[in-house]
Amino acid sequence: MRVLEHCDDPNTQEIIMDKIMQSVCTLAQDQYGNYVIQHVLEHGKPHEQSAIISQLAGQIVKMSQQKFASNVVEKCLAFGSPEERHLLVNEMLGTCDENEPLQAMMKDPFGNYVVQKVLETCDDQSLELILSRIKVQLNALKRYTYGKHIVFSC
């Protein structure tokens, strides 16, 4: 990260960013690499942020249930565009008749923090939909250690 912050040579910066972009999923799951991805999400250029989010899209539920990658998903929600956030939230919700992805995340030790971040960052329309899905699960969530955090957020 320090190389990214203190490098004045655009060519070197581009080479480093290319290497990072080739390994987004691997770095996101790594105990140290996740900090690199979080840094780019927080301080990177919009096209770099979007590239990271698009690489993680389709794996958000799985990544949310991993210790290090869940922090990256939270940064995606915090620093992604409204459209990107909407894409990620829809992935977490799954199809209308299944509630599985969101349900699994709410009961997970790391995923529940991602769900809490969704509740903080999503637009009103998504919030209404998510809350309606969560309310169906409230009684079940109270029985899970990690689900209780969501119950208190609602």
pLDDT tens per residue, range 88-139: 999 998 866 566 898 889 889 999 999 999 999 999 988 888 888 888 877 7
Domains plus CATH for the chain?
Answer: 2-153 (1.25.10.10)
DSSP classification of residue 98: -
Claim: this prediction has a pTM higher than 0.85? yes
CA-closest candidate to residue 53, choices 22, 31, 75, 30: 75
Predicted local distance difference test score (pLDDT) of residue 37: 97
Give the amino acid at 71: N
